[in-house]
């Protein structure tokens, strides 16, 4: 299993990119300008985790056999499979129909069955075997490798409360502060209602989970955007990922929400099952930059996101770096720096 890479030197990024002349006119989206695609998606519909159920829940003792708790349903499997089909239709000219090699895609997920299965389903429909890669005439599928980090080593996609001591300490420090306590005190009636109807004093965990999600959306983890940026920069330099055309990340709703919040385009909602964010790296000869899209199933296809401060649908790479570099962690070591907290 691979460990996450640290963020590239942003000063050096600006130095390199500053040597490239910038033209104010950006041509329309064209496959010829596309250099790299990142896709972060949420797993498909699933059964509830046992830990998420409450004492009076009428479904508390449901076994969900043969699927089990916290696993993909058939509807969830179909949704993830369709993501791959949508991406294949969108990027067939970029990826090529019969040109797949193992370095075409870098696919990663969190250490959960539902995200691993979701990633396999997306890969299955995105890269069906063609030409010499057909190994079984009755099976339109080929194995495609993917990677994941153990939860406590995953500083890109995992919940930071599980593996980032600094974030964990800051989180609980905030909840125990005057401002943090007000989050509970302002909802006393709701807490009493939950205690009464759930049949147990589970409000502390349930409500803390809600606040945890809100805090995570507001403040982290930011390592995913660091990796997107770092991998794009590495691709540009030509040092690595020379044959890589697409990065896939199979994760959770909070990953989608955090990324949207980080880009300042989040709106109050829970990213639905199978939602995904696309980040495209384009090279127009005189200028490189990103385009962002979000599929939340409120429109026919992924909506084009306009990132505040970027000046339109296209965000020049130099501008993107200047807008966001101050928010990025320099390395994973920051997670373990708890001095003075």
Instruction: Give the pLDDT confidence score for residue 222 in this predicted structure.
Output: 62
Q: What is the mean pLDDT of the chain?
A: 84
Given CA atoms 131, 132, 136, 137 in this order, what sign does their dihedral have?
Answer: positive
Identify which has the larger pLDDT, 214 or 43.
43
For the entire predicted model, the pTM comes to 0.84
Least confident of 4-18, 114-128, 142-156: 4-18
Q: What does residue 304 show for φ and ψ, rounded to 5 degrees? A: -80, 125
Asked whether the beta carbons of 10 and 328 are under 8 A apart, the reply is yes
Percent of the chain surpassing pLDDT 70: 81
Least confident of 6-15, 226-235, 267-276, 330-339: 6-15
Identify which has the larger pLDDT, 202 or 246.
246
Least confident of 3-7, 64-68, 146-150, 156-160: 3-7
Nearest to 256 by CA among 39, 38, 37, 41: 41
Q: Which residues contact 222 (CB under 8 A, 6 or more apart)?
A: 258, 262, 327, 328, 329
Instruction: Give the pLDDT confidence score for residue 314 in this predicted structure.
Output: 97
Instruction: Answer yes or no: is pLDDT of 22 > 60.
Output: no
Q: Residue 34 — pLDDT band, cuts 50, 70, 90?
A: very high
Beta strands in the chain (DSSP E): 34-42, 105-109, 147-148, 246-251, 276-283, 288-295, 303-305, 314-316
Domain residue limits, the chain: 30-54+62-159+221-335, 165-218
3-state secondary structure at position 251: strand
Q: Angle 223-237/253-262 helices, nearest 10 degrees?
A: 70
Asked whether the beta carbons of 332 and 158 are under 8 A apart, the reply is no
Calculate mean pLDDT across residues 196-200. 82
Q: Which residues contact 110 (CB under 8 A, 6 or more apart)?
A: 148, 151, 154, 157, 158, 250, 251, 252
- pLDDT digits 0-9 by tens, 169-186: 877 787 788 887 787 777
Q: Which of 53-67, 140-154, 187-201 has the highest mean pLDDT?
A: 140-154
Q: Which of 13-17, 20-24, 221-225, 266-270 has the highest mean pLDDT?
A: 266-270
Farthest CA pair distance, the chain:
65
Q: What topology does CATH give the domain 30-54+62-159+221-335?
A: Rossmann fold (3.40.50)
Query: Per the structure block, which two tokens stand in for 67?
Result: 């699927």
Query: Per the structure block, which two tokens stand in for 155?
Result: 């500083």
- pLDDT digits 0-9 by tens, 70-125: 999 999 999 999 999 999 999 999 999 888 899 999 999 999 999 999 999 999 99
Query: Per the structure block, which two tokens stand in for 82?
Result: 């369709």
Nearest to 190 by CA among 170, 169, 211, 167: 211
Q: State how far the Cα of 22 lies from the Cα of 299, in Å rounded to an integer.
A: 33
Instruction: Give the pLDDT confidence score for residue 173 in this predicted structure.
Output: 82
Instruction: Give the pLDDT confidence score for residue 270 in this predicted structure.
Output: 94
Instruction: Answer yes or no: is pLDDT of 267 > 80.
Output: yes
Q: State how far the Cα of 19 lies from the Cα of 236, in Å rounded to an integer.
A: 14
Query: Per the structure block, which two tokens stand in for 140?
Result: 């339109």
- pLDDT digits 0-9 by tens, 268-316: 999 999 999 999 999 999 899 999 999 999 999 999 999 999 999 999 9
Instruction: Give the pLDDT confidence score for residue 27 in this predicted structure.
Output: 36
């Amino acid at each position: 299993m691979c460990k996450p890479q640290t963020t590239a030197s942003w000063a050096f990024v600006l130095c390199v990119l500053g040597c490239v002349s910038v033209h104010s006119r950006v041509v329309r989206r064209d496959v010829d300008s596309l250099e790299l695609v990142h896709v972060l998606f949420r797993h498909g519909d699933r059964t509830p985790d046992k830990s998420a159920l409450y004492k009076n829940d009428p479904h508390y003792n449901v076994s969900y056999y043969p699927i089990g708790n916290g696993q993909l349903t058939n509807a969830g499997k179909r949704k993830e499979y369709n993501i791959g089909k949508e991406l294949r239709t969108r990027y067939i000219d970029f990826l090529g129909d019969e040109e797949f090699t193992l370095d075409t895609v870098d696919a990663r997920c969190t250490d959960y069955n539902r995200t691993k299965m979701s990633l396999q389903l997306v890969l299955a429909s995105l890269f069906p075997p063609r030409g010499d890669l057909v190994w079984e005439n009755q099976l339109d599928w080929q194995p495609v490798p993917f990677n994941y980090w153990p939860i406590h080593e995953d500083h890109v996609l995992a919940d930071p409360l599980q593996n980032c001591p600094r974030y964990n300490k800051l989180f609980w420090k905030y909840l125990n502060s005057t401002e943090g306590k007000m989050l509970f005190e302002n909802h006393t009636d709701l807490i009493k209602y939950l205690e009464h109807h759930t049949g147990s004093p589970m409000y502390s965990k349930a409500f803390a989970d809600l606040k945890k999600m809100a805090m995570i959306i507001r403040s982290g983890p930011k390592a995913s955007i660091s990796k997107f940026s770092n991998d794009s920069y590495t691709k540009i330099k030509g040092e690595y990922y020379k044959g890589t055309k697409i990065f896939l990340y199979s994760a959770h709703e909070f990953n989608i929400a955090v990324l949207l919040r980080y880009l300042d385009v989040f709106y109050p909602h829970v990213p639905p099952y199978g939602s995904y964010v696309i980040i495209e790296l384009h090279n127009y000869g005189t200028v490189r930059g990103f385009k962002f899209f979000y599929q939340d199933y409120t429109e026919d296809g992924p909506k084009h996101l306009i990132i505040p401060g970027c000046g339109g649908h296209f965000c020049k790479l130099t501008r993107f770096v200047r807008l966001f570099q101050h928010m990025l962690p320099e390395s994973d070591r920051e997670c373990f720096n708890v001095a003075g907290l």
